[in-house]
Amino acid sequence: MNSMANILAQIIENSHTAIKINNNDYIKDGILYCGNCNTKKQSLINVQGMEFKPMCLCKCGIEKRNSLEIEQKNRDIVTAKLERLSLLNQHNLLKGRLKDIYLDSFIKNKNNEKALNIAKDFINKFSNKSKGLLFSGDVGTGKSYISAIIANELVKRGKTAIMLNLNSLISDTDNQNALLKQLALADLIIFDDLGTERQTSYGFERAYDFINARYITEKPTIYTTNKSVDEMIKCENIDQKRMYDRILGSTNIIRLKGDSLRVEQAKKAYIL
């Protein structure tokens, strides 16, 4: 083989490692085709009488690569925007197990199907004028999980979405004013585990201040809580009452029913 052919052979070898062959791909007329979009994953070239079959991207492969590139650009945009929200971002819960979950990680069941549809709709129609969501339900029913998915999907679309716990904000005593200001700047805020604040007049007051700081921006906010709407309405402390009044007035309420999915997971792990 001459040097040109050597170079070509190298390029072709590289193309074979760069493009993955899937189980449903198939060969037609000696060329590999994608089992999903039925377009070529291999081309045929003839150089000085020699045939080469380098791998190439099929139609759906090109689409996937393009959308991954857009998603990465959007994530970079969000990372840059989060610099202005750095104090708030220090409290962001979208780390660890809540970081890499997206709609395709969601496991559907009869108790959460409706919530999933509402979440999809919220993501697709998201704007700074969207109405917020309130996920209410027992322990382990998937409230934080679905909220984190919504946030991660929106980050993929270039939106600043931050998930917070009020206790964590309240205990950051050095930065209270800055945190209140930064709350107004994010596209989406999620307050996770509402109702677990310290049951003192100080705790109620601070919780109200944070919720109200977001509420007055009229931007969308998601809340998760173990409390039922009845419990929220019946609370007696005036700050709590004002807080829940704002929350109920600015959200669509979704009740998540069923048993704890944590217990379900533990049972499965035990059987295996």
Which residue intervals of the chain are DSSP H helices? 3-18, 59-81, 86-89, 113-124, 143-156, 166-171, 176-183, 201-215, 229-234, 238-249, 261-271
Of the candidate residues 8, 32, 34, 148, the single one contacting Zn ion (CB under 5 A): 34
CA 124 to CA 144: how far, in whole Å?
19
Nearest in space to 93 (alpha carbons), one of 188, 16, 190, 170: 190
Work out how close the CB of 116 gets to ligand ATP at its nearest, in angstroms, rounded to a whole number.
7
Residue 165 interface partner, choices Mg ion, ligand ATP, Zn ion, none, CB cut-off 5-8 Å depending on type:
none
Nearer to ligand ATP, 141 or 152 (CB): 141
Site for ligand ATP in 169-228 (CB under 6 A): 193, 224, 226
Q: What is the DSSP letter of 42?
A: B
Taking CB under 5 A as the rule, which mask of x and - marks residues 132-161 in contact with Zn ion? ------------------------------
The amino acid at 134? L
Q: Is the backbone of residue 103 left (phi > 0), alpha (psi -120 to 50) or beta? A: alpha
Binding residues for Zn ion, total number by CB under 5 A: 5
Site for ligand ATP in 94-123 (CB under 6 A): 106-107, 112
Look up residue 131 and give its two tokens.
């109405």
Asked if 211 interacts with Zn ion (CB under 5 A), we say no
Nearer to ligand ATP, 162 or 261 (CB): 261
Asked if 142 interacts with ligand ATP (CB under 6 A), we say yes
Site for Mg ion in 140-159 (CB under 5 A): 144
Binding span for ligand ATP by CB under 6 A among 41-49, 136-144, 205-213, 234-242? 136-144
Look up residue 169 and give its two tokens.
């904000």
Residue 11 interface partner, choices ligand ATP, Zn ion, Mg ion, none, CB cut-off 5-8 Å depending on type:
none
HEC assignment per residue over 20-48: CCCCCCEEECCEEECCCCCCECECCEEEC
- Binding interface with Mg ion (CB under 5 A): 144
- Binding interface with Zn ion (CB under 5 A): 34, 36-37, 58, 60
